[in-house]
Amino acid sequence: MLRRKPAEDRKTEIVEALLDLADRIGPDRLTTNDIAREVGVTQAAIFRHFPTKAELWAEAGEVIAGRLTEAWQQALASERTPKGRLRALVAAQLKQIETTPALPTILHSRELNVENANLRDRFRGLLTVFQRLLAENLEGMVVDGSMTRHVQPEDAAVLLTSLVQGIAIRWSLGSRGFALQAEGRRLLDVQLEILACGE
């Protein structure tokens, strides 16, 4: 028998394995056996730490929610201008996706959303918060003149979240053939440029 670890460490390992495998084989194809093999324990051991697979997903959801929220807070605190905060928010989101590539798949997966209503609501709430943070800073940009008055901040926020999602999907399906963060920031600046013009 191999090394035994305290429950908290093992739980973390299991959640990390889940996030990794969700990216490689898909959130729904993922079995407890896959996770166990990845962690290096038997399949039964998974259930020593999580009563059901659904509970395991719930825990993973909490981890994701925590990471995103913290990343957003740091982004907001790191810059003083609305435009700076906006760019920091998008950059933070791209960085989160790059370190946890399963994120878009999990957030938007109809699979998970169908059977785990709590998780779905949690994620939907998260995305709403992100959208609202973007819109608030876009309003600030209208005030300080770095964005046109001819576009509603809410509409611009939709354009920006779509941009992040679209790039993430293209990156994910295209076997990560380009640098996500660099490409994302470049296109964000293109979008911000045309949002600024005419004022």
Partner DNA sequence: ATCATATGTTAGTGTGCACTCACTTACAAG
Partner DNA sequence: CTTGTAAGTGAGTGCACACTAACATATGAT
Does position 49 interact with DNA (CB under 7 A)? The reply is yes
Does 174 contact DNA by CB under 7 A? no
Q: How far is the CB of 50 from a second copy (least distance, A)?
A: 21
The answer to whether 22 and 106 are in contact (CB under 8 A) is: yes
**Taking CB under 8 A as the rule, does residue 31 contact a second copy?**
no
Side-chain-side CA neighbours of 24 within 13 Å: the count stands at: 11
Q: Comparing C-alpha atoms, which of 102, 88, 84 is closest to residue 141?
A: 84
Q: Compare residues 32 and 146 and give the one whose CB is closer to DNA.
A: 32
Nearer to DNA, 49 or 85 (CB): 49
Residue 132 as a binder of a second copy (CB under 8 A): the answer is no
Give the C-alpha separation, 82 to 85, whole Å: 5
SS3 of residue 30 by DSSP: coil
54 is an interface residue for DNA by CB under 7 A: yes
Cα-Cα end-to-end distance for the chain: 69
Taking contact as CB under 8 A, which single stretch among the options 19-27, 36-44, 71-79, 87-95 is the one that binds a second copy? 19-27
Tell me, by CB under 8 A, how many residues bind a second copy: 41
132 binds, among DNA, a second copy, none (CB under 5 to 8 A by kind): none
Q: Is 58 exposed, middle or buried (0-12, 13-18, 19+ CB in 10 A)?
A: middle
Closest to 120 in 3D by CA, of 128, 110, 129: 110
Q: Measured at the alpha carbon of residue 36, what is the angle toward residues 32 and 40, in degrees to the nearest 5? A: 175
- Residues near a second copy (CB under 8 A): 23, 25-29, 105, 108-111, 113-115, 120, 124, 148, 150-151, 155, 158-159, 161-163, 165-167, 169-170, 172-174, 187, 190-191, 193-195, 197-198
- Residues near DNA (CB under 7 A): 1-8, 10, 30-34, 41-45, 47-49, 51-54
